[in-house]
A and B are shown apart, each in its own frame.
Chain A
């Protein structure tokens, strides 16, 4: 399966520069997710790869071919669209066959491929139906089938699950992942939904404002976010960010959080850039890493006594919201324990050293 490379990509729409000096390599067989909020450029990047829009500068290489000047149909790609884009006048079988017309295969081969894809996606029984007679999930499968019959090495997905209800989405996530495991194609998948990204990707490229903020495996992105944007974007409930000022003295580095008057000990933190005394720093503390109650034996980075403001239960999970000097801090709690919590009463929570994230307050980058 081919590797996909974006080299120094620049894309301008009139005077607006959407992508500049973007470099990205998708390894062969990889499931790369382009994740980001609306307008971050992920769909533009996908469309550039597909050849639906032209680059302003830069090259796109698939395998060992430079496809930058090639038409979409010559690039060896297939795409699944957000609205499925099934041909309404053709049956399911017709839709699956239509895309192969350009490839000039003999009839037997076409039939073979169509049957294979239909079986794989369990839509063989829908052969003669028109798209209008299919459910959302079925249409999805036909759209995927249409991409699969082309038997190409690179598959593109443009937010394919956004039109499905939550339950179907969960099902389809598993299906797509299963397909990838079986067929091992190189997949580039665009979404704004972090759950899709975290569950399906082998690597995630988080984008914002046309720039790739971080590329890494889902674990890397989650555990070691490269900057404040990635830290806040991934994780639900979102990571709590404390605005602190660093106090550096000898071997000790403390992050002073003014609203709660707590000094968070970050002396053991693996700093990549040197902490300066008096500099602002953003500390990221994930809700699920807080320990409620006394920290038995462990040496936490900080201990907070904060009044409880609110609780939320979602059946399987619960979140307690504590008041940290005006800022609401989310803390993951056991649903069973939440019942006993009283609003207004202070709760003791501590945060372990190993789970800290420290970001430079001046530019948001991880330190």
Chain B
């Protein structure tokens, strides 16, 4: 009795999780994919007109707002990648200096505890030309200073990038710091004795040794970028015009404002595809690195 029960009990206990996975994830994804081929508007319409199956996608890619959103995704990713670079630099400095590491880490990480809505609001406030940073420098005498990025369509994304870098640098710094700590301390001593210049040491030894950490950061960054919604709402609400739309923003807008399920589903499916395209190669690469590392550790 005990043996059989011990086979059954865990499976029973797992059933809610399995149910959720099947219904709320698998089932939901399949449903959404299906919907993207239909003409559903406010309510689901389960009929598919096979002659026009890509109707929603055609609409999507003919919409300039969507292409803007996609290019914004790339811009945001490239810009936010600076946070990884900054995070690494900060981690390297904190690690070398050793003093005050705890204090620095606490300060750099606190933005993570702040909601993206609040973050966006504060930065929006700071970008305010009359009352924010621009005015601050004007009052100091530097009257040509311009810091009005979010008011103009071609620079608005940079404002969002800045806020996003502010928010996430500390996080990447923490990851990099733990990666740096896993490096054998005698390597640093050996390098000091070898008289290797700092730049060569980092470029040829340290950074390559941290491939795994960099990959992890890249994965997390790209996932965060695909999800970018809150910060856009808080800083610019998509504006000026549609210049700061992101795919996530587009999909939500398609559902809640344009009330078009089919359309929103198509946008969501593209988001999923983007996630897969970014995610799968990175994960495979990381898994491969991990396996190489394990093999090295055994040798």
Q: Do chains A and B touch in the complex (CB under 8 A)?
A: yes
The stretch that binds B, out of A74-82, A106-114, A225-233, A337-345, is: A74-82
Asked if A87 is at the interface of the complex by the 8 Å CB criterion, the answer is yes
Which of A77, A89, A102 contacts B196 (CB under 8 A)? Answer: A102
Q: C-beta contact mask, B63-90 vs A, less than 8 Å → 1, else 0?
A: 0000000000000000000000000000
Among A79, A102, A132, A133, the residue within 8 A (CB) of B190 is A79
Query: CA of A83 to CA of B299 in the docked complex: distance in angstroms?
Result: 15
Interchain CA distance A73-B204 in the complex, whole Å: 19
Fill in one digit per residue for B161-196: 1 if any A CB lies within 8 Å of its CB, else 0: 000000000000000000000001011011011111
**B186, B194, B204: which contacts A83 (Cβ < 8 A)?**
B186
- B105 to A: closest C-beta gap in Å: 23
CB distance from B133 to the nearest CB of A (A): 43
A residues within 8 A CB of B209? 88-89
B205's contact among A73, A89, A133, A134, by CB below 8 Å, is which?
A: A89
Whether A85 and B204, one on each chain, are in contact in the complex, defined by CB atoms closer than 8 angstroms, is: no
A99 near B186 with CB under 8 A, answer no
Decide if A98 is an interface residue (CB 8 Å cutoff). yes
Nearest A residue to B193 via CB reads A72
Closest A residue, CB atoms, query B295:
A132
The docked-state distance in angstroms from the alpha carbon of A83 to that of B188 is 12
Whether A99 lies near B194 (C-beta < 8 A) is yes
- Cβ contact within 8 Å between B187 and A87: yes
Let me know if A99 and B195 touch, CB within 8 A: yes
Kindly state whether residue A21 has any CB partner on chain B within 8 Å.
Answer: no
Assess the B197–A81 pair: CB atoms within 8 A: no
Assess the A81–B194 pair: CB atoms within 8 A: no
Most B CB atoms within 10 A — which of A50, A79, A103, A133? Answer: A79
- Interfacial chain A residues near B196, Cβ < 8 Å: 98-99, 101-102
- Is B7 interfacial (CB 8 A cutoff)? no
Q: Report if A90 contacts B (CB, 8 A).
A: yes
Q: Is A71 interfacial (CB 8 A cutoff)?
A: yes
Across the interface, which residues of A come within 8 angstroms of B187, CB to CB?
A: 85, 87
Instruction: Determine whether A279 belongs to the interface, using a CB cutoff of 8 Å to chain B.
Output: no
With a cutoff of 8 Å between Cβ atoms, the chain B residues found around residue A72 in the complex are 189, 192-193, 195
In the docked arrangement, what's the CA distance between A99 and B190, Å? Answer: 9
Q: Which residue of B lies closest to A156 (CB)?
A: B193
Query: B296 an interface residue at 8 Å Cβ cutoff?
Result: yes
Task: Kindly list the 6 A-B residue pairs having the minimum CB-CB distance in the complex, ordered from nearest.
Answer: A73-B195, A102-B195, A132-B296, A99-B194, A85-B186, A85-B190
Report chain B residues within 8 Å CB of A99.
Answer: 190, 193-196
Contacts of A83 on B, CB cut-off 8 Å?
184, 186
Interface residues of A (CB under 8 A from B): 50-52, 71-74, 77-79, 81-85, 87-90, 98-99, 101-103, 132-135, 146, 150
Identity of the chain A residue whose Cβ is nearest the Cβ of B194 in the assembled complex: A99
Total count of chain B residues near the partner, CB < 8 A: 19
In the bound complex, residues from chain A placing their C-beta under 8 Å from that of B200 are 101
Chain B residues with CB under 8 Å of A150's CB are 194
The minimal Cβ–Cβ distance linking B262 to chain A, given in whole angstroms, is: 51
Shortest C-beta distance, B220 to chain A (Å), equals 24
Bound-state Cα–Cα, A74 to B190, Å = 13
- Known contacts A78-B193, A82-B186, A101-B196; A87 and B299 CB within 8 A of each other: no
B208 at the interface (CB under 8 A from A): yes
A-B contact pairs, 27 of them (CB 8 A): A51-B193, A52-B189, A52-B192, A72-B189, A72-B195, A73-B192, A73-B195, A74-B195, A78-B193, A79-B189, A79-B190, A85-B187, A88-B209, A90-B205, A98-B194, A99-B190, A99-B193, A99-B194, A101-B196, A101-B200, A102-B194, A102-B195, A102-B197, A133-B299, A135-B299, A146-B190, A150-B194
Tell me the bound Cα distance from A59 to B193 in angstroms: 19
Q: A51-B193, A101-B200 are in contact. List 16 more A-B contacts (CB 8 A).
A: A50-B189, A52-B189, A72-B189, A73-B193, A73-B195, A79-B193, A81-B190, A85-B186, A85-B187, A87-B205, A88-B209, A99-B194, A102-B194, A102-B195, A103-B195, A133-B299
Query: B residues within 8 A CB of A51?
Result: 192-193
A146–B193 alpha-carbon span in the complex (Å): 11
Chain B residues with Cβ below 8 Å from A52 are 189, 192-193
Closest beta carbon of chain B to A12's beta carbon, Å: 18
Chain A residues with CB below 8 A from B192, complex form: 51-52, 71-73
Q: How far is the CB of B140 from chain A (nearest CB, A)?
A: 42
Q: Which residues of B are found within 8 Å of A89, using beta-carbon distances?
A: 204-205, 208-209
Q: Which B residues lie within 8 Å of A133 (CB)? A: 299
B-chain residues with CB within 8 Å of residue A101 when the two chains form the complex? 194-197, 200
CB distance from B166 to the nearest CB of A (A): 33
B186's nearest neighbour on chain A, judged by CB, is: A85
Which chain A positions have C-beta within 8 A of B299? 132-135
Bound CA span A85–B196, Å:
14
